[in-house]
Amino acid sequence: MAKQSPTADPILQVQNLSRVFDVSPPWLNRVIEGQPRQLLKAVDGIDFSVKSGETFSLVGESGCGKSTVARLVVGLYGPSTGQIIFEGDDIGGLSRREMAPIRRRIQMIFQDPYASLNPRWRVKDIIAEPIRAFHLAHGGAAITARVTELLEQVKLTADDGQKYPHEFSGGQRQRISIARALASEPDFLVCDEPTSALDVSVQAQILNLMKNLQRELGLTYLFISHNLAVVYYISDRLAVMYLGRLVEVGPARDIFKNPQHPYTRMLLDTIPDLEMSGRERLPVAGEVPNPINPPSGCSFHPRCPFANARCRSEAPQPRMVGSTAIACHGVEENRIIEAAPVANGR
């Protein structure tokens, strides 16, 4: 992976970030049926930082809060506590007006190519919207020229701008979505499962395109995915998320080669074996618990084969082990039995 070496200074720093959603039943029901308020901690005090020019991935199963983190970073949600620091400024909870100059620099690519483009707009208007909103080009001719340039950048043609989204396939729509995200000339792209709705051959096209664009434009990616193979291919560093918390953060290569946290190991063990090596795998136990009532202590303890009394009562804090930060009492106490590494860089 000889990529432009990411510079050392972080472009984005997330500190003790939390987001709580009120999922209570309506007020009247609470009063009449005596139901308590219900709070969902979608993101629960996470820290990470993204270096300029790198791809930082968040991996986890559905409901772990990774999409909430994406929406917090782009300002679709405000944080409940904690800071989101973009180039030294805390951008968490800014008003729409205060956020405007930063919005141009942080854009987002969405998961569902069928829902992320307004079906009533022509493609050229969809891509021109950020250009007009941020006054990046003036006059019809200049805007048209810029739209054409963007369409060609994502390997579409100028004529495609005249069409409506329904005339395109899923992969082409995702290209349009990328062109719109690039229209404001951002530095930082938040990609929320950009390929999970696509077929594999199209996924490869989009991933290659994203890598090329990163190299050409010096973009930084915050990449959200549940697909470990995709994450392995695209990431420089990654964070594994479970029930709103980060369990392991570090360089992608190190984590894939030597996963430490029992949850990371379990996840890596679920990757289907395309090599058909007949490798025996640990059986995966249990399911993700209800995030409204997360387990006490380490939230992974009910599924963890190494859990003990401390894991059930005390939430582990991240500790650095080599290059990775791991939140696990077992790793700290050195009682995780060494299992065969999953990916040896075959």
Partner 1 sequence: MWLIRACASIQARHMGMADMKSPAPAPSTLQRMRDSDIWYSFKQSPITIAAAVVTVTFFLCALLAPWLAPHDPFDLVSMDIMDSFLAPAWSIDGDPRFLLGTDDQGRDVLSAIMHGSRVSLFIGFASVLLALLLGVGLGLWSGFVGGRLDAFIMRVAEIQLSFPTILIALLVNGVLRGALQIEQQVHLAYVVLILSIGISGWVQYARTVRGSTMVERNKEYVQAARVIGIHPWLIMLRHILPNVTGPVLVIATIHLAVAIISEATLSFLGVGVPPTEPSLGTLIRIGNDFLFSGEWWITIFPGAALAILVLAVNLLGDWLRDALNPKLR
Partner 2 sequence: MALLEVDQLRVEFLTRNGTLTAVDDVSLKIEEGEVLGVVGESGAGKSMTGNAIIGLLEPPGRIAGGEIRLDGQRIDNLPYEKMRKIRGAEIGAIFQDPLTSLNPLYSVGQQLVETIRTHSDVGLAAARSRALELLNEVGIPAASQRIDHFPHQFSGGMRQRVVIALALSANPRLIIADEPTTALDVSIQAQIIALLKRLCRDHGTAVMLVTHDMGVIAETADRVAVMYAGRIAEIGPVADVIKHAKHPYTDGLMGSIPVVGQQTERLAQIEGAMPRLTAIPDGCAFNPRCPKAFDKCRQTRPDPIASGAGEVACWLIEQEAHHG
Asked if 122 and 162 count as a contact pair (C-beta separation under 8 A), the reply is yes
Q: Taking CB under 8 A as the rule, does residue 165 contact partner 2?
A: no
The tokens for 189 are 């792209």
Does residue 203 touch partner 2 according to CB under 8 A?
yes
144 Cβ contact list (under 8 Å, min separation 6): 124
Least distance from partner 2 to the Cβ atom of residue 336, Å:
18
Query: Minimal distance in Å, beta carbon 312 to partner 1?
Result: 37
What phi and psi values does residue 250 have, to the nearest 5 degrees? 175, -175
Q: Residue 87: name its binding partner from partner 2, partner 1, none (Cβ under 5 to 8 Å by kind).
A: none
Strand 237-242 to strand 319-321: parallel, antiparallel, or no bridges (unpaired)? unpaired
CB of 33 to partner 2, least distance (A): 19
207-266: contacts with partner 2 (CB under 8 A)? 207-208, 211, 226-230, 232-233, 256, 266
Residues at the contact surface with partner 1, assessed by CB under 8 A: 71, 74-76, 96, 99-100, 103, 106-108, 110-112, 115-120, 129-130, 133-134, 159, 162-163, 177, 180, 184
Task: Provide long-range contacts, Cβ within 8 A and 24+ apart, for 35-43.
Answer: 38/292, 39/292, 40/291, 40/292, 41/244, 41/291, 41/294, 42/68, 42/244, 42/291, 43/17, 43/18, 43/19, 43/68, 43/69, 43/72, 43/244
272 near partner 2, rule: CB under 8 A: yes
The whole-angstrom distance between residue 264's C-alpha and the CA centroid of its chain comes to: 16
Q: How far is the CB of 296 from partner 2 (least distance, A)?
A: 20
Measure CA of the first residue to CA of the last residue in the chain; give whole Å.
15
Q: Which does 201 bind (CB under 5 to 8 A by kind): partner 1, partner 2, none?
A: partner 2
62 binds partner 2 (CB under 8 A): yes
Cα 37 from Cα 22, distance rounded (Å): 8
Give 9 or 89: the residue with its C-beta nearer to partner 1: 89
The CB-of-27 to partner 1 minimum distance in angstroms stands at 9
> Which among 59, 32, 64 is positioned nearest to 222, based on CA atoms?
59
Fill in the per-residue mask, 122 to 161: x = in contact with partner 2 (CB under 8 A), - = not in contact.
----------------------------------------
CA atoms of 54 and 3, how far apart (whole Å): 9
Instruction: List residues near partner 2 by CB under 8 A.
Output: 1-2, 61-62, 169-172, 199-205, 207-208, 211, 226-230, 232-233, 256, 266-276, 281, 283-284, 287-288, 342-346
